[in-house]
Amino acid sequence: MRKRCVLITGASSGIGRATALRFAEAQENIVLVGRNHEALAAVASEVEAKGAGSLIVAVDLCRDGAASKAVTTALAQFSHLEVLVNAAGIIANGTIENTTLADWDRMMDINVRAIFQLMQAATPALIAAHGNIINVSSVTGTRSFPNVLAYCVSKAALDQLTRCAALDLAPKGVRVNAVNPGVVVTNLHRRSGFDEPKYAAFLEHSKTTHPLGRVGTPEEIAELIYFLASDQAGWITGETISIDGGRQLTCAR
């Protein structure tokens, strides 16, 4: 039985990295996609230490042609592609009053447009392999929250992209799903401008907003992604699955 080829964006840290390591435990071939070659190389070493194959594709997925390059590079190395995991994303604060058009466009470019392009580029190979796609969305795709307007809209768009693509590709044997995490300990909020004291306070506060009383780990999200990519999830498509400690059950606070 041949090893699957799994292409993962945002693979240098957080959920992307944890997902790469989870698939590596099964000795899959992992295509690590991101902008920072050095950070990807560090993950590649971890992947290979688990006995899995790895390939680094250092690209900015917002640039035209980058999605096609990632897919063609993967196919040139491994000749097939079974799983696409879109884990790259950004967050920024802003309301309807103060979100700039530049911030809005950047959020849509990274969180929606780049994913659409990569899904489209990967579709022929996924059809040939009867593969599947897992998009990393957010609880903000299903619920509205204050001061993250563009982020909420981008994740809601990603959820709808997931559902529409699932309908388009179901007759061709390709499944498309999304996971919708609550607050997970990654660099996402740090990169949005949180310093360490502010981030620590945010995590502490998040214990009170998630009914299970804690935030999530990247490894927990990776486990759900791995399941959705497996044959055990073979009758699941078009789903946006909450994995958020109950966060989506509550009101904004």
- Residues assigned a catalytic role: 151
Dihedral angle sign, alpha carbons of residues 169, 175, 181, 186 = negative
Q: Let me know if 162 is exposed, middle or buried by CB neighbors in 10 A (0-12, 13-18, 19+).
A: buried
AA letter at 222? A
For 119-172, the DSSP string reads HHHHHHHHHHHT-EEEEE--GGGTS--TTBHHHHHHHHHHHHHHHHHHHHHGGG
Alpha carbon of residue 251 to chain centroid = 25
User: Which tokens belong to 112?
Assistant: 């929606």
**Count of other CB atoms within 10 angstroms of residue 170:** 13
3-class SS at 32?
strand
User: Which tokens belong to 205?
Assistant: 């506060």
